[in-house]
Structure 1
């Protein structure tokens, strides 16, 4: 963390439907664990805690503190999460610039997110070496691999490039097929879906689903059915409910006096 000033600002967590002052038991992000409370404006409020006007590093400790507050608040309220690390200079700025100027849009967003939750799913191939598995199952790839095995790399440079391209193409085709199978089961249950790029070679799907809370049990059951059908080949990591990080973004740049609160 780098202190920019000794003044006290307001660290922002999220926006909720609340027209009154409230406090929450979860401590805030700074070392002192400041009280988390609301700054209301009409029928919406910002969830904040007192904080030095400083930049927060994206450490595990800081990220967990930010997330804990959001998860505590969402037990009681629909919440629009604010991006990590945003500190407003004072309560007046929060009330007038963030809540006041963006009021109508925030009300609309809160209505759109009402009774909805985000669930996350990551799927991985279980095979320790997916490339070896592909080589064993693809005659063309296996033959080329065997043909150049043991030969000097300088003599097989272009063949090795071709082999890598063939393996990559097969991996992508398998990923597309497995992802399509998973999404065919889950997309009909979701209001919106966000697909992110795979983070590792073994990752098949990295997705976030915005669903109606009333469909959570049906979604859970669909995950169980996928695991029963594909669990010998795939490992599923399923998380949630969490605030709708992937479907709402609220950013603020107080230095340039630019504020955005946009549904994406």
Structure 2
């Protein structure tokens, strides 16, 4: 059983897409990426041992690199990371019954890519602003300053609650500001949950490739306006990971 292999499925593409000779898949050593076609659609796959663990950071990078590189030249529907099937027939079983729906989804993503904007508050600047605007929080901060934690437990808890509420409100406002700044350049948006308590904004943006430069310019202006309050990170162009859920791909 140890030498039995399956197929790791990366994503779905139009049937005319070819795997480049240098395309590397998951695994150690990396598997050769091939294409399995049915009608107007196809799946990007590579062979993997069925008993191989596929959770290394190198595997995730290989998965993302393949999909993001594909998205630069053709529409692609990412399949959830870690999807392994038993062989070609199992891949065709995925493609056949949903052919028309997947083909329509690929047409929807033609000429479009995803960007992710991740902003994180500068903690000192944020807390200073909260205390300046919230007299109750400022009073509590003064009560606990320089005093032992055991003697100030209740005010510390209340101060933490007020700060947490204020951060949440500012995060909601920052996401709205970001969405407003990018609205005229994007096709669709998806809010991502915060990954850190100081996250200011976390948004996936779907953009037509002919509007990429304009979007990047708008985001650079947004970042400039928020300098000193938050640090902004822009990732992309990427495959449309956040926008394929409605198509119910395997995983």
Aligned length: 250
Q: Does 2:177 match 1:181?
A: yes
Give the Å deviation of 1:167.
1.6
Q: Following the alignment from structure 1 to structure 2, what is the Cα–Cα distance between the partners of residues 145 and 68?
A: 47
Structure of higher RCO (CA pairs closer than 8 Å, 6+ residues apart)? 2
Judging by fraction of residues, say which structure has more strand.
1
Alpha-carbon contact 2:167-2:198 (below 8 Å) kept:
no
187, 193, 200: which one aligns with 2:196: 200
Aligned partner (choices 210, 214, 217) of residue 213 of structure 2:
217
Moved more, 39-48 or 29-38: 29-38
Determine if the alignment matches structure 1 residue 87 to structure 2 residue 84.
yes
Show CA shifts across 1:139-176 (max 9, x none). 33122222344566566443333222222222222222
Q: Which runs of 5+ in 2 are unaligned?
A: none
1:233 to partner: Cα distance? 1.6
CA deviation map 1:52-104 (0-9, x unaligned): 12354422111011112212322322111111111111112212x11111111
Corresponding residue for 2:3?
A: 6
Counterpart-to-counterpart distance in 1, 2:59 and 2:243: 22
Q: Out of 96, 104, 109, which is 1:108 matched to?
A: 104
Q: Distance in 2 between matches of 1:157 and 1:22?
A: 61
Alignment-derived partner of residue 47 in structure 1? 44
SS of residue matched to 1:111: helix
Q: Which residue of 2 aligns with 1:145?
A: 141
Q: Which runs of 5+ in 1 are unaligned?
A: 252-259
Contact in 2 for aligned 1:81/1:245 (Cα 8 Å): yes
TM-score with structure 2 setting the length: 0.89
Shift of the 9–23 alpha-carbon distance from structure 1 to 2, 3 Å rule, reads farther
CA distance in 1, matches of 2:121, 2:236: 21
Does the 8 Å contact 2:117/2:235 carry over to 1? Answer: yes
Alignment correspondent of 1:243: 239
CA RMSD of aligned residues (A): 2.4
- Whether the 8 Å contact between 1:24 and 1:73 is mirrored in structure 2 is no
Would you tell me which structure has more helix in proportion to its own residues?
Answer: 2
Equivalent of 1:167, from 163, 166, 169?
163
Q: Is the CA contact (8 Å cut-off) linking 1:54 and 1:87 kept in structure 2?
A: no
